[in-house]
Amino acid sequence: MGRIKDKITIVTGGARGMGAATCRLFVAEGAKVMIADVLDEDGAKLAAELGANAAFGHLDVRDEDQWQALVAETESRFGPIDVLVNNAGVLLFKTIRDTDKADFERVTGINLTGTFLGVRTVGARMCERGRGSIVNISSADGMKGANGLGAYCASKWGIRGLTRVAAMEYGHKGVRVNSVHPGGIDTAMGNPYAEAKTDVNKRYTMVPMQRVGDSEEVAKTSLFLASDDSSYLCGAEIAVDGGMLTGQYYVGFPGAPGV
């Protein structure tokens, strides 16, 4: 406990899913957390649950003015920002042929432009103070292709590249920037029909760990990157994917599940 005691943190997309799990864990570990989201009711409810060390602020991550307002509110309520977790994101299942320009711009706007604005707005304040940690939530699909996820993959690959550039530009100013790459996670976005986990796991035969991930497992990785335990990590890419990216099973060959 207390791994990030008194660190002032913003978590975007913090009202539910991986974001909410991150907010809960960070508060439990001593941080003061601004829950940022467009889901006002869910965000306010979570802030009330977490108590005095949490607050909710409305944020459409695509809006630069809202970013400026959120940073000002966070600094006024808690103090200078130590940690930013760029978690807000949306998913779209469409082929490239079926994805229109508005679809593409919405996904990249939230996932990539939103992350850019956070890195730019909050990162500038961190650089002025000479310290800070930025955690960008990308995806396993930011390291590989996935049919039917053209806009999503493009946005998540973009986050990966943005993270590397930010690490180079901010690292020598005392600000660490790293990315997390979740695989399939049991959230409202990843499991929209709220299927039982045992049923979801049946679709994860291609993953070495043979199961879907939990939000808390991603949150713990973000906690590590936010804490001083990761003091020499900058520009790192950490896959929290149950081994999804390690390779594809040759079914029936030695070492495959069931063999």
Active site residues: 152
If one counts every other C-beta atom within 10 angstroms of the C-beta of residue 230, the result is 18
If one counts every other C-beta atom within 10 angstroms of the C-beta of residue 76, the result is 8
Q: How many CA atoms lie within 13 A of 79 on its CB side?
A: 9
Instruction: Tell me which residue of 161, 89, 79 sits closest to 126, measured CA to CA.
Output: 79
3: exposed, middle or buried (Cβ count in 10 Å: 0-12, 13-18, 19+): middle
113: exposed, middle or buried (Cβ count in 10 Å: 0-12, 13-18, 19+): middle
Interhelix angle for 215-226 vs 17-28, to 10°?
50
Instruction: Tell me which residue of 238, 185, 227, 223 sits closest to 23, measured CA to CA.
Output: 223
Strands, E assignment, 98-195: 132-137, 175-182
- Here the tokens at position 176 are 């660490």
